[in-house]
Structure 1
Amino acid sequence: MASSDVADMRTRIINELTLLRRRGMTRLRVTPVPTIADVSRVVLGSDEPAAIERLLRQAIDGLGGGQFGRAGLLLFGPSPGTRGRKPKELREMAALELELQPDTFRKGRELRILEQIAEQMIGLVVLQRVTMPSEPAEDRRARLERLAAEIAALPAADLGPLVQLLRSRLGVPD
Structure 2
Amino acid sequence: MAERLFSGAHPGHDLGVSAAGAVPSYAALVSDLQLVREKGLPHLRRLRLVALDRAARACDLTTSDEPEPAAIEALLRQAVERLGGGRLGDAAAYTFGLVQGTKDWPAQDRRAHVAQLYGVTPDRARKAQEPTAIEQTAEEVLNLCHEHQLRDARMQLERQLPTESRLAVQWVERFEAYNRIWTPATHLSNDLRAAIQTRREPDSEFAPWDPTQPWPGREGQARKYAGYALFAYAQFNLEVKKFCVRHGGLWLLSSRVIEEQVSDAVYRIGWHNNLTEADDSWLRLSLAQAAHEEQVSFSQLVEASPEGAAIHAKWQQLVASCACVSDDQPQPDCQVHATVQACEDYVRLIDEDWDRIADWYHAGERRPPRIEAEDLYQRLVRERVGKPARIDDNRDQR
TM-score (norm 1): 0.78
Report the equivalent of 1:75: 95
Give yes or no for contact 1:14–1:114 (8 Å, CA) kept in 2.
yes
How far, CA to CA, are the matches of 2:37 and 2:161 in structure 1? 43
Aligned to 1:25: 41
Contact 1:14 1:115 in 2 (8 A): yes
What is aligned with 2:79?
59
CA gap of 1:57–1:45, structure 2 versus 1, over 3 A, is closer
- Helix, strand or coil: the match of 1:14? helix
Structure 1 residue 144 corresponds to structure 2 residue 167: yes
Q: Is the 8 A contact 1:55 1:121 kept in 2?
A: yes
Amino acid at match of 2:167: L
Output the amino acid matched with 1:139.
P
Aligned counterparts of 1:87 and 1:164: Cα–Cα separation in 2:
34
User: Partners in 2 of 1:85 and 1:169 — Cα distance?
Assistant: 36
Structure 2 SS opposite 1:80: coil
Aligned to 1:92: 112
Residue 100 to residue 130, structure 1, CA distance change in 2 (3 Å): same
Question: 1:117-170 CA deviation, whole Å, 9 max, x = no partner?
Answer: 00000011100010115423463473524668xxxxxxxxxxxxx9545x4253
* Local SS of the residue matching 1:139: coil
Are the structure 2 counterparts of residues 141 and 36 from structure 1 closer, same or farther at C-alpha, using a change threshold of 3 Å?
A: closer
Unaligned runs of 5+ in 2: 1-16, 172-244, 253-258, 267-398
Q: In 2, Cα distance between the equivalents of 1:76 and 1:102?
A: 15
CA contact (8 A) 2:95 2:133 kept: no
Partner of 1:168: 250
Residue aligning to 1:116: 136
Aligned length: 155
Corresponding residue to 2:52 among 26, 32, 36: 36
Whether the aligned pair in 2 keeps the contact of 1:44 and 1:55 (CA below 8 Å) is no
Matching residue of 2:256: none
- What residue number does 1:107 align with? 127
The amino acid that maps onto 2:26 is R
CA gap of 1:104–1:124, structure 2 versus 1, over 3 A, is: same
Q: The residue matched to 2:29 in structure 1 has which SS?
A: helix
Could you say if the C-alpha distance between residues 80 and 56 of structure 1 is closer, same or farther in structure 2, counting changes exceeding 3 Å?
A: same
C-alpha root-mean-square deviation of aligned residues, in Å? 2.7
Give the corresponding residue for 1:130. 150
Check conservation: 1:68, 1:98, Cα contact below 8 A.
no
| In structure 1, C-alpha distance between the alignment counterparts of 2:52 and 2:246, rounded to whole Å | 21
Which has the higher Rg, Structure 1 or Structure 2? 2
Higher helix share: 1
Does 1 or 2 have the higher relative contact order (CA < 8 Å, sep 6+)? Answer: 1
Query: What is the CA–CA distance in structure 2 between the aligned matches of 1:163 and 1:52, rounded to whole Å?
Result: 28
Q: Quick check: 1:16–1:36 contact (8 Å CA) kept in 2?
A: yes
Paired with 2:120 and 2:53, the residues of 1 have a C-alpha distance of 32
Task: Note if contact 1:60-1:69 (Cα within 8 Å) is conserved in structure 2.
Answer: yes
Counterpart residue type for residue 20 of structure 1:
V
* Aligned mates of 1:108, 1:97 — CA distance in 2: 13
Q: Is the 8 A contact 2:41 2:96 kept in 1?
A: yes
Percentage of matched positions with identical amino acids: 28
Which runs of 5 or more residues in structure 1 are unaligned?
A: 149-161
Moved more, 128-137 or 34-43: 128-137
- State the partner residue of 1:159: none
**CA shift at 1:96, angstroms?**
1.1
Q: Distance in 1 between matches of 2:251 and 2:107?
A: 31
> Does the CA-based 8 Å contact 2:114-2:129 persist in structure 1?
no
Partners of 1:92 and 1:102 within 8 A in 2: yes
